[in-house]
C-alpha cells in the first residue's frame, strides 16, 4: 500500500485574499492558474516584485482599504466606497477626512472599546469560576 501526498491547491481568488491583494490587479498567470499551499508560502516568504508593488501601491481590496482607513468594511460601503482604492487614493481620503470617514472611525473606536470591555469581563468571570472551583 502506498500513500500519495495530495497537493492542496486553492483558487486564485482565495490565494489573493490570503495575500491581501486585489485579484484583478495580479498578473494573468496568477489569475488563470491554481496556487498550491507551498506556492502561497513561497509568495509570502519571498514576494516577487509584482506582489510587493501591489501591496505598496494597490489597488487594494476592501478589507485592506478598510484597515488602512481604520473603519469596517460595512463602514466603507456606508461611505460609498465600493471599488478597490490605491494607496494614493486612500491617503487623499485621509487628508480630506470627509464626515462619513470621521463618523465611521468613531464607530470603529467604540466597537474596539466594547470588545476590550467584553474580553475583560469574560476574563474576570473565568477567574471567579476558577477560584470557586478551587
The reported pLDDT for the residue numbered 7 is 75
pTM to 2 decimal places: 0.74
d(CA 63, CA 109): 17
The reported pLDDT for the residue numbered 3 is 47
Dig out the grid coordinates for 104 from the structure.
465611521
The reported pLDDT for the residue numbered 113 is 93
d(CA 21, CA 2): 39
The reported pLDDT for the residue numbered 89 is 94
Is residue 78 within 8 Å of residue 100, measured between CB atoms?
A: yes
> Quick check: bond before 103 cis, omega within 30?
no
pLDDT digits (tens, 9 = 90+) for 63-115: 999 999 999 999 999 999 999 999 999 999 999 999 999 999 999 999 999 99
Look at residue 1 and tell me whether its pLDDT is greater than 50.
no
Amino acid at each position: 500500500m502506498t500513500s500519495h501526498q495530495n497537493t492542496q491547491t486553492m483558487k486564485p481568488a482565495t490565494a489573493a485574499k490570503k495575500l491581501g491583494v486585489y485579484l484583478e490587479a495580479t498578473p494573468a498567470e496568477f489569475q488563470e492558474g491554481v496556487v498550491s499551499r507551498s506556492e502561497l508560502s513561497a509568495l509570502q516568504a519571498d514576494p516577487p516584485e509584482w506582489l510587493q508593488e501591489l501591496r505598496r501601491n494597490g489597488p487594494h481590496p476592501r478589507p485592506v482599504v478598510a484597515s488602512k482607513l481604520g473603519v469596517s468594511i460595512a463602514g466603507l460601503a456606508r461611505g460609498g466606497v465600493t471599488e478597490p482604492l490605491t494607496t494614493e487614493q486612500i491617503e487623499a481620503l485621509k487628508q480630506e477626512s470627509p464626515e462619513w470617514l470621521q463618523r465611521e472611525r468613531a464607530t470603529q473606536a467604540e466597537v474596539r472599546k466594547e470588545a476590550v470591555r467584553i474580553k475583560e469581563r469574560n476574563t474576570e468571570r473565568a477567574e471567579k469560576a476558577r477560584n470557586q472551583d478551587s
